[in-house]
Amino acid sequence: MQSTIAAIATPLGSGGVGIIRISGPVSKLLGQRIFRSSRSGFTDFRPYVLHHGTVLDARGTTLDEVLISYMPGPGSYTGEDVIEINCHGGPLVLQAVLERVLELGAIPACPGEFTKRAFLNGRLDLTQAEAVAEMIEGRSVQGLAMAASKLGGLLGDKLRALRNALEELKIELCVAVDFPEDEVECLEPEAFARRVEGVLDETRELIAAYARNRCWREGALVVLAGRVNAGKSSLMNGLLGRDRAIVTNVPGTTRDYLEETIVLGGMTIRLVDTAGLRETRDQVEQVGVERTRALLQEADLVLLLIDGSRGPDQEDESLARSLPREKLVVVGNKVDVCGEEPGWKRTWEEAGYAPLMLSARQGTHLDRLEAVIIQCLTRGQAEADQGGLVPNLRQKQGLEQGAKALEALLDDLKAGVPYDLLAVHVDAACTAFMELTGEITSDEVLNAIFKDFCIGK
Ligand SMILES: Nc1nc2c(c(=O)[nH]1)N(C=O)[C@@H](CNc1ccc(C(=O)N[C@@H](CCC(=O)O)C(=O)O)cc1)CN2
Ligand SMILES: Nc1nc2c(ncn2[C@@H]2O[C@H](COP(=O)(O)OP(=O)(O)OP(=O)(O)O)[C@@H](O)[C@H]2O)c(=O)[nH]1
Ligand SMILES: [Mg+2]
């Protein structure tokens, strides 16, 4: 028999109310043993009704005053019988009530186990289960909206529709193989290719939505880099709107990196001020410079700061060259000293860099920089996608597998490969989509998905 699991479903800390969640065949029995109703006539829980009373320990002493609800399977969140105990939201209260529930025979839930059971019991498909985690981790209002429509089943529906389209194509392939001489049924290769391309285009559109919206969903890492004294820490402070980083005219002021979170246009951004790049004998600064280089690899966007009054040097040029264009914004600082059009700017413009001139200290044109940051992080589309067909990383990878299979199918079709050999590609694409919805699944995939959930979800 399936075990009955229990966990604290709310964050540990003081709160108005904290919830213990119990799911499994004996959860109602556990609820009845632990609960004493404040109504004399109470005999049994009524589904989806809050019951007021107390939770008792083994000796009959009160642990807490609570509201309890009972949600019978298979209609509950997990699909099993569920009991929820609404306690006072103190960590010790919740711990004591949970321990009592465990004493009576429940087993502590693993991370994500309630949602995993909901999936295994067919209450959610896999895209919806993943959306639950995306709701909790939401980094922007826009990202939250994407998770909410995924939770509503939109992406799952889309994937099933694509798969159905492929199943139909496969039937036609089979008919063409079985009745090759039948003129009426015979497959017309070009029309067939167009329909495959239709599915492929929709798949590619989903893949593109991942890249476009990734930073809305996950937040972004923006790194301030450049030579010592360029004004990185000043810009950090300017963007933060407060004096966080130490600023002096001593080159090498920042030796370790500093990280703060800002919200630009609704997007959550980890902003990192780094140690200025230069050769140095200072051991601490050396480690700082190494860390800067590691951060540059990881960054979604690098702001390369150039002291406009001195102009760039070779170090700046090689740093610019080492980064992919779409990851780089060149910023010319100290416009109050060098003016909007210093001589070096033209050279960099000719090389295709379009330096953005500003003054970190005086706050001039910081608004322009903020707009450019959002533009770059969203690939030029400063609005998040509406409508919510936005995959996560796993989903994007599955879609890429599907797209690859469809591309192979089109290649073979053009090369005149016999129809009976084309079906493998259709099958491969179908499998990729079914692994995303969870119609096909493995322990490995499920464990990878649910291990990152919190306990009690
Ligand atoms: N207290 C509490 N809040 C919560 C959850 C929960 O489990 N408990 N949820 C999850 O973590 C989310 C809500 N998800 C849920 C999804 C379905 C059902 C459910 O029982 N559905 C029945 C409804 C029957 C009815 O309305 O009478 C059904 O679909 O048949 C409950 C919660 C967010 N808030
Ligand atoms: N005139 C002018 N000076 C600036 C501007 N921004 C920064 N500075 C000055 O440039 C010097 C260096 O600024 P920081 O912000 O410490 O530079 P940094 O790039 O963090 O330097 P390191 O931490 O040493 O790598 C300070 O004296 C700042 O006041 C600006 O917009 N105009
Ligand atoms: Mg600094």
**Could you list the pLDDT tens digit for every one of the 457 residues in the chain?**
799 999 999 998 999 999 999 999 999 999 999 999 999 999 999 999 999 999 999 999 999 999 999 999 999 999 999 999 999 999 999 999 999 999 999 999 999 999 999 999 999 999 999 999 999 999 999 999 999 999 999 999 999 999 999 999 999 888 887 776 655 556 788 899 999 999 999 999 999 999 889 999 999 999 999 999 999 999 999 999 999 999 999 998 998 899 999 999 889 999 999 998 888 888 888 898 889 889 999 999 999 999 999 999 998 999 999 999 999 999 999 999 999 999 999 999 999 999 999 999 999 999 999 999 998 998 777 678 877 799 999 999 999 999 999 999 999 999 999 888 999 999 999 999 999 999 999 999 999 999 999 999 9
Identify the pLDDT of residue 384. 80
Residue 361 Cβ < 6 Å to ligand 2: yes
The sign of the dihedral angle between the CA atoms of 335, 339, 343, 345 is: positive
CA distances from 91 to 15, 16, 20, 94, 455 (A): 9, 11, 11, 5, 15
Identify the pLDDT of residue 59. 92
Q: Is 431 annotated as a binding residue?
A: no
Identify the pLDDT of residue 209. 93
Q: Is 444 annotated as a binding residue?
A: no
Please name the residue whose Cα sits nearest to atom 34 of ligand 1. Answer: 77
- Interaxial angle between packed helices 189-218 and 393-414, expressed in degrees from 0 to 180 and rounded to the nearest 10: 160
Q: Is 361 annotated as a binding residue?
A: yes
Residues with CB under 6 A from ligand 1: 19, 48, 71, 75-77, 84
Please name the residue whose Cα sits nearest to atom 25 of ligand 1. Answer: 48
Ligand with smallest separation from the Cα of 250: 2
d(CA 354, CA 369): 12
Distance of alpha carbon 95 from its chain centroid, rounded? 30
Ligand with smallest separation from the Cα of 285: 2
Strand (E) or helix (H) holding 258: strand 258-264
Q: Is 259 annotated as a binding residue?
A: no
Residue 280 carries which DSSP code? -
**219-377 has CATH 3.40.50.300 classification:** yes
Residue 305: strand pairing partners: 226, 331
Identify the pLDDT of residue 419. 87
Dihedrals phi, psi of 254, to nearest 5 degrees: -85, 120
Please name the residue whose Cα sits nearest to atom 7 of ligand 2. Answer: 231
Fold of 141-214+392-450: Four Helix Bundle (Hemerythrin (Met), subunit A) (1.20.120)
CA distances from 303 to 189, 235, 285 (A): 50, 10, 20
Dihedrals phi, psi of 329, to nearest 5 degrees: -125, 125
Q: The whole model's pTM is what?
A: 0.86
Best substitution site from 273, 361, 364 to test ligand 2's pocket, by max atoms within 8 Å of Cβ? 361
Please name the residue whose Cα sits nearest to atom 32 of ligand 1. Answer: 77
Q: Taking the domains of the chain in order of start, what are their residue ranges?
A: 5-109, 141-214+392-450, 219-377
CA 29 to ligand 1 centroid distance, Å: 20
Which tokens belong to 58? 């083994």
CA 341 to ligand 2 centroid distance, Å: 19
Write 414-421 long-range contacts (CB < 8 A, 24+): 414/193, 419/173, 419/176, 419/177, 419/187, 420/173, 420/177
Rg (C-alpha) for the chain, rounded Å, is 29
Question: For the domain 5-109, what is the CATH code?
Answer: 3.30.1360.120
CA 243 to ligand 3 centroid distance, Å: 12
Ligand with smallest separation from the Cα of 332: 2
Contacting residues for 148 by C-beta, under 8 A, at least 6 apart: 131, 135, 388
ipTM of the predicted structure?
0.83
CA 133 to ligand 1 centroid distance, Å: 15
Identify the pLDDT of residue 182. 59
d(CA 111, CA 453): 5
Please name the residue whose Cα sits nearest to atom 27 of ligand 2. Answer: 249
CA 128 to ligand 2 centroid distance, Å: 48
Identify the pLDDT of residue 316. 93
Residue 1: strand pairing partners: none
Q: Is 123 annotated as a binding residue?
A: yes
Best substitution site from 234, 337, 356 to test ligand 2's pocket, by max atoms within 8 Å of Cβ? 234
Any idea what the Cα angle at residue 389 is, between residues 449 and 115, rounded to 5°?
30
CA 276 to ligand 3 centroid distance, Å: 7
Residue 363 Cβ < 6 Å to ligand 2: no
Query: Per-residue DSSP letters for 188-206?
Result: -HHHHHHHHHHHHHHHHHH
CA 124 to ligand 1 centroid distance, Å: 12
